[in-house]
Amino acid sequence: MNPLPLEYQLWTADDVAAYMQLSKTYVQEHVLSQPDAPRPVRFTRRGRARWKAKEVVEWAMEKT
């Protein structure tokens, strides 16, 4: 469990997949690639993408 409040957490694709109870591959190919999906945060050009957890949760709730 992450001790940080949701608004300060940055999730990997694995974290997003776990939250949505979907496979990482499905999330990357079909969920996070949607035009209205939250945009990833990247700290370097080649760095792994992270998503703001609060944005992911809010976006997912709008979809249900």
pLDDT above 90: residue 28: yes
- Considering the domain boundaries, does residue 58 fall inside one? yes
Residue 43 lies in a domain: yes
Range of the domain at 20: 6-63
The CA distance from 64 to 44, in Å, is 33
DSSP category for residue 38: P
- Looking at the domain assignment, is residue 39 inside a domain? yes
The tens digit of pLDDT for each residue in 44-57 reads 888 889 999 999 99
Can you give the pLDDT at residue 19?
A: 97
pLDDT digits (tens, 9 = 90+) for 3-25: 899 999 999 999 999 999 999 99
Q: Find all residues with CB under 8 Å of 40, minimum gap 6, and list them.
A: 32, 49, 50, 51
**The total number of structural domains that make up the chain:** 1
Structure tokens at 52: 């703001």
Q: Does residue 62 register a pLDDT over 80?
A: yes
For residue 1, tell me if it sits in a domain: no
Question: How sure is the predictor about 1, in pLDDT bands with cuts at 50, 70 and 90?
Answer: low
36 vs 1, higher pLDDT: 36
